[in-house]
A and B are shown apart, each in its own frame.
Chain A
Amino acid sequence: MQIYLPIAEVSVNIFLLLGLGGIVGVLSGMFGVGGGFLMTPLLFFIGIPPAVAVATEANQIVASSFSGVLAHLKRKTVDLRMGTVLLIGGLVGSGFGIILFNYLKSLGQVELLVQLCYVVFLGMIGSLMFIESLKAIRNASKPGGAVPKRRKHNWVHNLPFKMKFRVSGLYISVIPPLLVGVLVGILAAIMGVGGGFIMVPAMIYLLGMPTKVVVGTSLFQIIFVTAFTTMLHATTNFTVDVVLAVLLLVGGVIGAQIGTRIGVKMKAEQLRIWLAIMVLAVCGKLAFDLLVMPAELYSLGTGGH
């Protein structure tokens, strides 16, 4: 069954959109990522104009993250205090990011920058996580071998402005989470995603938060950053397609609920290794597109550079 999208001005299959929303929703609930880094390229692929895909995707992530956060709140796996600190950094960062994005757009080649950003960050984070979780799994499976304590005492713990984060069981300075927030905010604005796939590893490896708390806290933060992005796109570019968003989020919210339940049943190391594999797969695809001669050398854009 086809449906015509009023803003995107294309006609697409309803079930395709529901299915895409569902799959990305499951991943979102499982890993605490918004799923934007997967969904946005998929929407390009089915013929949604890029500007509409990026803007609408932000709106859809609001829904799936909200649904996921509610499930995590019930289980008390959201560190609201940490989430708020990250969010403050995040909003500042996305403000900077949008200025930077518009500056680069005036120079041209912004599309290339976005792609390179994806390849570099996805590649880095994916391989780091993959190696780390593989080690963890190997150590855990050793008979009698103790699981190494990951929360080491490093430079992060010697900074001023310490704050107690009870849910995460941390007593650390607010500077590192603020900086993580700013960095993720900048990248999120440039790459047009929620930033969960950067936020989650940063929280685990940089801040030393327990994996179970990380997912809920990341989702909490993502809601606000993507809501901000949605409003910005709706008021400046008129590119949020509410019909497309509704179809994606119907699949998305249901998927997120299922994903959260799967995530709880899985071991933390397993969860991380699957996220790593997924991140590396997307990175590989994007790198492949940059390196291999495209079938169609020409592309169409709206008037004016």
Chain B
Amino acid sequence: MIRLIALFLILALPAKAEEIVLGLSRDEVAITATFEGSEILIFGAIKRDAPPDADGDLGVIVTVAGPDRPVTVRKKDRRLGIWINTDAVDVDVAPTFYAVATNRPLEEILTFTEDLNTRVSMQRAIRSVGATVEDAESFTDALIRIRSEQGLYQTLPTGVLVQEEALFRTLIPLPANLTEGDYKAEIYLTRGREIIDFYVTTIPVKKVGLERWLYNLAHDNPFLYGLMSLSIAIAAGWGASAAFSVFRR
């Protein structure tokens, strides 16, 4: 919601001197049985009516966000000699995937206020409301750390390549453990750390073929799916037994 309001505010800006023209290497990401991760090439050009102004450096920010899912972050502590979960924080807004690529370190091309409004940086994109434990920050830090290790959260401070202040491109790697859903790609153009233009598009990530069929069956017809799983198990057990007795003869 806050993002949306922020976008409207930006929309209300006076006539733009510079605009984004965007291209994507693919319209959607299909998860097949042999899916090993993928990558999206996001590229584009900056359209201008006049030669670029000299006031302030050009910044290009590209973010790709997966669907939001709430997450519980638990912390272990030593009690009676053993390590057990003691505190927990519910993170209400946590994208399942988040990549932020920039042509220069984010703080050099975006003001703190603009970041607050647009929630571009990793720290702003993840929020927990109403945490009752002390030091809730360390829980969101842990979330970022764990997901970064899994390749789900990425900060790419020099991930965007800008050529002659007119063309830009970035390659966002997608890990194999992606969650299905609409991935939102946002591109921000900044001058002097203020946003001057932005562009939003969605990239659907979905399972296809056998993966799709099994997933649907498991959720729409769980009893049948359970019976099918059991039949496969029994058949495989019998098959192996039969095969081995033939083998021994």
Contact = CB atoms under 8 A, between A and B. Distances in A.
A6 B207 contact: yes
A180 interface: no
B46 interface: no
Contacts of A125: none
Given A6-B211, A230-B229, A235 B236 contact: no
A243 B34 CA distance: 12
Interface stretch (B69-77, B114-122, B193-201): B69-77
B230 A62 contact: yes
B233 A305 contact: no
B179 to A, nearest CB: 6
B176 A231 contact: no
Interface stretch (B9-17, B52-60, B237-245): B237-245
A70 B238 CA distance: 7
Contacts of B210: 6
Interface stretch (B99-107, B182-190, B220-228): B220-228
Interface string A290-305: 1111101111111111
Contacts of A10: 176-177
B76 A299 contact: yes
A242 B72 contact: no
Given A3-B34, A240-B226, A303-B69, A257 B240 contact: yes
Nearest to A12: B176
Contact of A70 (B226, B232, B241): B241
Interface stretch (A186-194, A195-203, A246-254): A246-254
B240 A297 contact: no
B214 interface: yes
Contacts of B239: 253
A132 interface: no
Contacts of A43: none
Nearest to A3: B33
B82 to A, nearest CB: 4
Interface in A260-287: none
Interface in A63-85: 63-68, 70-71, 74
A207 interface: no
Interface string A87-123: 0000000000000000000001101100000000000
A133 interface: no
B126 to A, nearest CB: 12
A293 B78 CA distance: 8
Contacts of B230: 59, 62, 227, 230-231
Given A6-B211, A6-B214, A234-B222, A291 B82 contact: yes
Contacts of A242: 214, 218, 225, 228-229, 232
A11 interface: yes
A230 to B, nearest CB: 6
Interface range, B side: 35 or more
Contacts, number: 190
Contact of A250 (B32, B33, B214, B236): B236
B85 interface: yes
A253 B240 contact: yes
A158 interface: no
Contacts of A182: none
A303 B218 CA distance: 21
Contacts of B249: none
A171 interface: no
Contacts of B90: 303-305
Contacts of B146: 296, 298-300
Nearest to A60: B233
Given A234-B226, A290-B82, A298 B35 contact: no
Contacts of A47: 177
A294 B83 contact: yes
A230 B231 CA distance: 12
B89 to A, nearest CB: 9
B234 interface: yes
Contacts of A154: none
Contacts of A293: 78, 83
A111 B214 contact: no
Given A4-B31, A4-B211, A234-B222, A300 B176 contact: no
Interface of B: 31-37, 69-78, 81-85, 88, 90, 139, 142-143, 145-147, 176-180, 207, 210-212, 214-215, 218-219, 222-223, 225-230, 232-234, 236-241, 244-245
